[in-house]
Amino acid sequence: MRGEPIQALNNGFNGLISMLRTDPQAMDSLHISVITFDREVHNLVPLTDLASFQPVEIHCPESGPTHTGEALEMLLKMIDSELVKGSTERKGDWKPLLFVFTDGKPSDIQKYRMCIPKIKAMDFGIIVGCAAGPKAEVSFLKELTDEVVKLDTTDSNTLTTFFRWVSSSIEMGSKSQGTGKTLTLPPPPNELNIII
Amino acid sequence: METILKQLLDEFNVEQNKVVDNTLTKLMHNAKINALARDINSLKQQIIAIFQMYREKEEFKETQLVITNANAKKHYSYSFDLAQFPNIRIQKIKNLDKVGLTFDPETSSICGVPDMALTMDLHLVFINTLEENPTEDIKIIPFIVNADPKDLWLNKPSNQNDLYAKADSDKYAGAFLDKRIVVASQRGRSHAHEGSFRDDHFYVSALPEAWSVVAVADGAGSAKFSRQGSKIATEYLVKTFDNEVLLHELNDLCLAYYTTAPAEAVPPAPKDDQPVSGATTNIVNDPIEEVVKAEMTAQECLLKVKSSIINILYKSVRDVHAKLVEFARKEEILLKDLNTTLIFALVKKIDFGYVVLTFGVGDCPINVVIGDLQEVHLLNLLDIGEFGGGTRFITMPEIFSHTDMPLRFAINRFDNFSKLILMTDGIYDAKFITENKLEDKDTWNTFLQDLDGQNEDGAKVDFVTDEHIKDQLLTWLDFWSKGNHDDRTLAIIY
């Protein structure tokens, strides 16, 4: 991803943060961690509360492999150490929400597939896969989650719409629900194609 | 010296040959040339110094400076770390006064209390102190002032023309046996923000045979019509007990339970006001000894009485579930759309104290306070998941088949109590936070003092002169607690 699409992604993502900042519930409770994955996997922004979150700029190399599996592996480790589970002495975090955004397909497919059952066992509130642009392959994301959105284009309008929907999905994450149940996502706007 | 001359010849395209070499050798010791060369060097130094000066400025401009976010109405201070740029001095920051912050160039720090939320670009006006006549330059950095979450909450009324509309708050005060009860229920800020309904509900009623009941339910935030689920659960539960024959039978059973109980059958060292937890205690292991046979019979008898009591309660709870199933079917909605927790206390005063029968599914506690906090007990099993908001509901069929079902019921008797309290998690999450605090006397002491007006709003619930108590409790429910904006319902029998 480069040129206009990456610019649009950055604008869209930072726009998402601005949108969330106006939501009092999110301001009180939301924490965000950003992992970027290409040839290298980085925890670009370690888990940060929304009030302290700084605008970020995501860079993408012009070519090379996409290490989605390694990113999931990093995520698993981070969840293990950062997520607070409730007990009689400690208040638990809300269920974490996972959004995987890619414009390609995993190059480390074996590792990717190895991580999937572990991710699924993590009890995320929701996992949303987003395949952005013409080269993004939906089938791999479908292995990870049923909730896959395809963006045909990666212009700034589409991305803004997408992130607005992400924002409303995040707001769903702080409501009481049955244990072990997953969230129902708000209906996506027409621009987004939900893959069944 | 020689280098300078050679560079100069290169610059002027003077070809190197023997004549040129000879000339160079002669000029090496020429005083005038040497003086000029020194001047050139000194001029170069000056140029490079100016270059470095400008470079430092450009580098400062390019460096990513992260300045921590401020929060509206909260004191803010930030010092720029300029160790990397020893000669850079920030003179002033434009735009900063827009949010009510000031900048001190001496300490390179910003401080003050921002008065409003804003996302903007700060213009840092800076100079390089090495410059003789410093010229100002500008570096732009983004700056975020977060809103005070209190200012972000909207209070939109719910649409009273919608299906299963419900008032945004409710309150009640009245008699409860020979005591009084006050209940208030307030829509949470998270619902008010979206103009959605209060999902909590409560119902209080006096019943035949001198019983009284209070039921409280918390509809799930994630369920579409949970406001109706909680209404049905509480109202129908009370209805199932509005039955003279049933309550008469319950009278007899409770009397039997507390009069035929052999000393050994209640938990060790039974104190009168110690709760005898309902279904778990008194279940005997297989006694082998003949000696214990008589006692065994008494225990068996007790167990039988107990299970009869619990069966009556169980049937009511089962009926509530069935009612919800029927409602969902009739209205062609999903049962889970009605997801709601339910707690209730069915109470009667008898010759030797108060019999308190309780049930709970979900994360809403029922507590009893004895005397001046001599004792405090949690009377029900709480369903609190590993994650925030995770719980169980009366609408879930699986709770009825689960082995912990009997644990949800409790039979207790107290000589007296000063308060019997039922609350939804909107109160519990904010004031008790974790389950282990529900039997912690210090936490309860703070909670009771809080009710007595020791809070930042000075909101007091006066249990002595209780003329306006229901309004006072409703006002008290409006307390501020970061991250806790769910519906709040609190019922207190006092």
Alpha-carbon gap, residue A33 to A78, rounded angstroms:
9
Give A15's pLDDT tier (boundaries 50, 70, 90): confident
Could you tell me the residue ranges of all domains in chain A? Answer: 4-81+96-195
Instruction: Decide if domain A4-81+96-195 falls under CATH 3.40.50.300.
Output: no
Res B477 pLDDT > 80: yes
Q: Which of B189, B190, B385 sits opposite A179 (nearest CB)?
A: B385
Give B264's pLDDT tier (boundaries 50, 70, 90): very low
Residue B261: predicted pLDDT: 52
More confident residue, A130 or B279: A130
B406 token code pair: 């009997």
Alpha-carbon gap, residue B479 to B483, rounded angstroms:
12
- Average of pLDDT values for A110-114? 96
Give A55's pLDDT tier (boundaries 50, 70, 90): confident
Give A64's pLDDT tier (boundaries 50, 70, 90): confident
- Average of pLDDT values for B64-85? 93
Look over chain B and give the mean of its residue pLDDT values, rounded to a whole number.
Answer: 90
First to last CA, chain A: 26
Look over chain A and give the mean of its residue pLDDT values, rounded to a whole number.
Answer: 85
How do beta strands A177-178 and B390-391 pair?
parallel
Span of A10-24, B122-136, B193-207 with lowest mean pLDDT: A10-24
- Residue of chain A with shortest Cα separation from B142: A55
User: Taking CB atoms and an 8 Å limit, are B388 and A21 in contact across chains?
Assistant: no
Q: Which of A23, A28, A92 sits opposite B387 (nearest CB)?
A: A92
Any B CB within 8 A of A184 CB: yes
For A13, phi then psi, to 5°, come to -65, -45
More confident residue, A157 or B309: B309
Alpha-carbon gap, residue B141 to A46, rounded angstroms:
22
- Average of pLDDT values for B308-319? 96
Give A188's pLDDT tier (boundaries 50, 70, 90): low
Alpha-carbon gap, residue B85 to A179, rounded angstroms:
55
- Average of pLDDT values for B97-104? 92
pLDDT digit string, tens, across residues B355-371: 999 999 999 999 999 99
pLDDT digit string, tens, across residues B401-449: 999 999 999 999 999 999 999 999 999 999 999 999 999 999 999 999 9
CB pairs under 8 A between A and B: 123
pLDDT digit string, tens, across residues B58-72: 999 999 888 999 999
Residue B279: predicted pLDDT: 40
More confident residue, B386 or A141: A141
Q: Which of A93, A175, A179 sits opposite B221 (nearest CB)?
A: A175
Coil, helix or strand at residue A118: helix
Burial of B340: CB neighbours in 10 Å, binned 0-12, 13-18, 19+: buried
% of chain B residues with pLDDT over 90: 79
Alpha-carbon gap, residue A112 to A127, rounded angstroms:
15
Residue A125: predicted pLDDT: 84
Res B94 pLDDT > 80: yes
